[in-house]
Structure 1
């Protein structure tokens, strides 16, 4: 039972980390788009 709980918590942390990585990627794309718009 404890192993299942620990495994579940680890999976949550993995998904949370993946979500943060996707968010950072989106922010990079947004910043690049702003840079392109500002250069014209």
Structure 2
């Protein structure tokens, strides 16, 4: 039972981490696009 709970918690942390990294990647991409657009002007 403890092993199942530990595995479930580990999966939740991994999924939360993936969402955080995905969000950070999107933010960095938006910042890059803003810099690129400013350079074109």
TM-score normalized with structure 2 length: 0.82
**What is the Cα-based RMSD across aligned positions, in Å?**
0.4
Which consecutive segments of 4 or more residues in structure 1 shift more than 4 A? none
In the alignment, structure 1 segments of 5+ residues that lack a partner are 36-40
Equivalent pairs counted in the alignment come to: 35
TM-score normalized with structure 1 length: 0.84
In the alignment, structure 2 segments of 5+ residues that lack a partner are 1-6
